[in-house]
């Protein structure tokens, strides 16, 4: 009998297929999985902790609790990754500046960016949230500390990207440039098990995903396109259902498995949208493209953007190739 394909075995077998592999990625992915398990536990306990400590109902309780979890998750990821000597510099959505690694550790060949708890305003409502990560090969000379230059690379240079979804189950999805694989945490044994190998984003869908609360500020062409999804006059030839969680990891996860598109466009108020290029858009774009989909900012691909700032925002439209092709043609004339 073949045992379950747990994450460690998957990494080991994938590594065997590349005789020149150094094992760096194995260490990185295993430590990300460890951090994800710890954050998953914290997220699951968040509601109880609030009740037990009697914070509920206090004016700032929700805001504080949410901030606390953001900081906890940030520390958990940092602590899991700082000592493995695979990185030369880190970037966290929680920190304005690049994060240097402690002096006592050797500096490695990679740079990592992570958003430790994306969608955290949803915590109060027990809605799914997630962690997003993105890995680059360093471009500064090996040996010493990395710099901003190692982090500020275009998305097509990512060597790995992934997310962890803390939902009704905890799932870890990642790509190292050879397709996308998804693992589900078995809470009984504390292991991530491969449940969705080599995911391909479907061509057909029942859904579209965008915050229609902002539609009064949208470009007219986008409004017209989204309206067409509520009639049969669209590429799917049927009325679609709107699904919008407001937690990018959860919305992209559904899009990856269920097709269609997820968008956070620019509008008259948010002229570059809301999502961060380095922490949210690039890693999700790599995953979606590796699964056969497309991810654009408008006229061009997200992965081609030359970044200028660690926290810069970018409009995002990603999903099934057919849907993004149609949206790009209708809204951006390309
Ligand atoms: P928070 O971390 O503040 O909850 O923001 C989450 C997020 O960056 C992303 O995960 C969502 O897709 C997006 O914002 C939702 O934004 P809107 O609430 O404006 O729709």
Give the C-alpha separation, 303 to 73, whole Å: 27
Position 57 pLDDT exceeds 60: no
- What confidence score (pLDDT) does residue 44 get? 87
The dihedral formed by the CA atoms of 303, 304, 309 and 313, expressed in degrees to the nearest 10: -60
Q: Is the CB of 22 under 6 A from ligand 1?
A: no
Ligand 1 pocket test, candidate residues 69, 116, 118, 315, most atoms within 8 A of CB: 118
- What confidence score (pLDDT) does residue 54 get? 34
In the residue annotation, 74 being an active-site residue is answered as: no
Give the C-alpha separation, 324 to 261, whole Å: 7
Q: How many residues does the chain have?
A: 334
The residue that leads in pLDDT, 287 or 43, is 287
Q: Looking at 61-75, 121-135, 231-245, which range is the least confident one?
A: 61-75
- What confidence score (pLDDT) does residue 185 get? 98
The model's confidence at residue 157, banded by pLDDT at 50, 70 and 90, is very high
Q: What percent of the chain has pLDDT over 70?
A: 93
Q: Which of 29, 81, 117, 318 is catalytic?
A: 117
pLDDT in tens, 317-328: 999 999 999 999
110 contacts 24 by C-beta, under 8 angstroms: yes
Ligand 1 pocket test, candidate residues 65, 248, 269, 314, most atoms within 8 A of CB: 248
- What confidence score (pLDDT) does residue 120 get? 83
pLDDT in tens, 287-318: 999 999 999 999 999 999 999 999 999 999 99
Q: Is the CB of 212 under 6 A from ligand 1?
A: no
Distance 129 CA to ligand 1 centre (A): 10
Distance 211 CA to ligand 1 centre (A): 10
Torsion sign across C-alpha atoms 159, 86, 174, 262: negative
pLDDT in tens, 260-270: 999 999 999 99
The residue that leads in pLDDT, 25 or 66, is 25
The model's confidence at residue 1, banded by pLDDT at 50, 70 and 90, is low
320 contacts 261 by C-beta, under 8 angstroms: yes
Tokens at residue 101, please? 């690694």
Position 71 pLDDT exceeds 80: yes
Tokens at residue 303, please? 């992965």
CA atoms within 13 A on the CB side of 34: 15
Give the C-alpha separation, 186 to 167, whole Å: 13
The residue that leads in pLDDT, 62 or 331, is 331
Position 227 pLDDT exceeds 90: yes
- What confidence score (pLDDT) does residue 327 get? 98
Position 70 pLDDT exceeds 90: no
Give the atom of ligand 1 at the shortest distance from the alpha carbon of 122: 4
pLDDT in tens, 82-124: 999 999 999 999 999 999 999 999 999 999 999 999 998 888 7
In angstroms, what is the C-alpha Rg of the chain? Answer: 20
Work out the average pLDDT over 247-276: 97
DSSP string, 286-311: HHHHHTT-EEESSSSBGGG-----TT
134: closest CA among 117, 118, 165, 110? 110
Distance 118 CA to ligand 1 centre (A): 7
Q: Is the CB of 128 under 6 A from ligand 1?
A: no
Mean pLDDT over each residue of the chain, to the nearest integer? 92
- What confidence score (pLDDT) does residue 53 get? 34
Q: What is the 3-state secondary structure (H, E, C) of 20-80?
A: CCCCHHHHHHHHHHHHHHHHHHHHHHHHHHHHHHCCCCCCCHHHHHHHHHHHHHHHHHHHH
In the residue annotation, 70 being an active-site residue is answered as: yes
The model's confidence at residue 22, banded by pLDDT at 50, 70 and 90, is confident
Backbone angles phi, psi at 301, to 5 degrees: -80, 140
DSSP string, 146-201: --HHHH---GGGEEEEEEEEESSSEEEEEESSS-EEEEEEETTTTEEEEEE-S---
């Amino acid at each position: 009998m073949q045992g379950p394909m747990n994450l460690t075995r998957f990494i080991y077998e994938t590594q065997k297929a590349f005789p020149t592999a150094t094992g760096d990625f194995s260490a990185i992915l295993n430590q990300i999985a460890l951090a994800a398990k710890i954050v998953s536990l914290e997220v699951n306990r968040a509601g109880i902790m609030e009740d037990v400590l009697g914070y509920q109902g206090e004016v700032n309780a929700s805001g504080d609790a949410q901030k606390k979890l953001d900081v906890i998750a940030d520390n958990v990821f940092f602590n899991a990754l700082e000592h493995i000597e695979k990185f030369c510099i880190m970037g966290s959505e929680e920190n304005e500046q690049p994060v240097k690694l402690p002096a006592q550790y050797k500096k490695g060949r990679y740079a990592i960016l992570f958003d430790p708890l994306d969608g955290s305003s949803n915590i109060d409502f027990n809605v799914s949230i997630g962690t997003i990560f993105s890995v680059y090969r360093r471009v500064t000379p090996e040996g010493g500390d990395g710099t901003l230059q190692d982090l500020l690379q275009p998305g097509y240079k990512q060597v790995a990207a992934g997310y962890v979804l803390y939902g009704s189950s905890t799932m870890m999805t990642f790509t190292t440039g050879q397709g996308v694989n998804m693992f589900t945490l078995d809470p009984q044994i504390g292991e991530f098990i491969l449940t969705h190998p080599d995911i391909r984003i479907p061509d057909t869908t029942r859904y579209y995903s965008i915050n229609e609360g902002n539609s009064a500020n949208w470009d007219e062409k986008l409004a017209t396109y989204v309206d067409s999804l509520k009639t049969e006059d669209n590429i799917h030839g049927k009325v679609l259902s709107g699904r919008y969680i407001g937690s990018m990891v959860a919305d992209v996860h559904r899009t990856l498995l269920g097709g269609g598109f997820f968008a956070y466009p620019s509008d008259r108020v948010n002229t570059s949208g809301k999502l961060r290029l380095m922490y949210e858009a690039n890693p999700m774009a790599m995953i979606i493209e590796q699964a056969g989909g497309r991810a654009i900012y408008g006229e061009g691909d997200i992965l081609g953007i030359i970044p200028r700032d660690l926290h810069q925002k970018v409009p995002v439209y990603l999903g099934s190739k057919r849907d993004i092709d149609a949206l790009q043609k209708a809204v951006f004339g390309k």
